[in-house]
Amino acid sequence: MAQRWLPLEANPDVMNQFVQQLGVGTRWQFGDVLGLEPELLLMVPRPVVAALLLFPVSEKYETYRQEEEERLKADGYSPPKHVYFVKQTIENACGTIGLIHAIGNNKNIDFAEDSALKLFFDSTVGMTPEERGRQLEKDTSIRASHESSAQEGQTEAPSLDKKVDLHFVAFVNVDGVLYELDGRKPFPIAHGNTSEDALLEDATAVFRQYMQRDPEELRFTVVALSAVS
């Protein structure tokens, strides 16, 4: 990868500060999902328009990722053209790309007039996922906000040279289908039908699959993007 950024912490306060610096309206807020049990999911403000999973990248996961890609290609899977998807070309930028995926696939999100993030969306709408990744490399406004936010977490930011084995992936509802958006994968992954009311619950079923692949791991975090009054 051409660049390496500091990793973004799975901290809703940091995420909210980050996207608001880039011009996202304050009505939209990231918040912790305290657990995957139904009663805890009900505590999350609704509507939920996206969910982000932070998970450990293990050998088991890497094997699964390769097998999944080969299976989908063998089955003739046709990647959706209407889903906004960015290929990750910057190391440790998965948190920012997850936020971009969460916001860029929700048409109701409002932006300030001078929003750097809206400018990025408008300028890359006709690009391929790879071209969007390269454009992100050149976007000084997003990088500056990422770097300042990466320093604002509750834990000390690691050095740029330190290997990070945690990764963000976003889940969104586009036209009634639940999509998994991971910039390290070649295309969005469809996970069946969903709705505005059921997105978090439907995404939770996929989160549980991640956890079942690494049952001894505890480093899983879920953050939801909601519209709050």
- Asked if 133 contacts 183 with a C-beta cutoff of 8 angstroms, the reply is yes
Query: Whole-angstrom Cα distance, residue 19 to residue 97?
Result: 12
Per-residue pLDDT tens over the stretch 144-202: 999 999 988 655 555 555 566 899 999 999 999 999 999 999 999 999 999 999 999 99
- pLDDT, residue 37, reads 97
97-132 as b/e: b if 16+ CB within 10 A: bbbbbbbbbbeebebeeebbbbbbbeebeeeebeeb
Query: Whole-angstrom Cα distance, residue 175 to residue 52?
Result: 19
What integer is the mean pLDDT of 116-135?
97
Q: Which domains does the chain have, with CATH numbers?
A: 3-227 (3.40.532.10)
- pLDDT, residue 90, reads 96
What integer is the mean pLDDT of 98-125?
96
Kindly report the number of other CB atoms within 10 A of residue 164's CB atom: 13
In this prediction, residue 119 has a pLDDT band, given cuts at 50, 70 and 90, of: very high
Per-residue pLDDT tens over the stretch 32-83: 999 999 999 999 999 999 999 999 999 999 999 999 999 999 999 998 999 9
- pLDDT, residue 163, reads 60
- pLDDT, residue 161, reads 57
- Identify any residues that bridge with 166 across adjacent strands, giving them in sequence order: 56
- pLDDT, residue 160, reads 53
- pLDDT, residue 1, reads 44
Query: Whole-angstrom Cα distance, residue 149 to residue 196?
Result: 29
Tokens 């890359």 -> residue: 124
Rounded to the nearest angstrom, the gap between the alpha carbon of residue 192 and the centroid of all alpha carbons in its chain is: 18
Query: Whole-angstrom Cα distance, residue 26 to residue 145?
Result: 16
- pLDDT, residue 171, reads 98
Rg (CA), the chain: 16
Whether this prediction's pTM lies above 0.85 is answered by yes
Catalytic (active-site) positions: 94, 167
Average pLDDT value over all residues in the chain: 93
- pLDDT, residue 32, reads 97
Q: What share of the chain in percent tops pLDDT 70?
A: 93
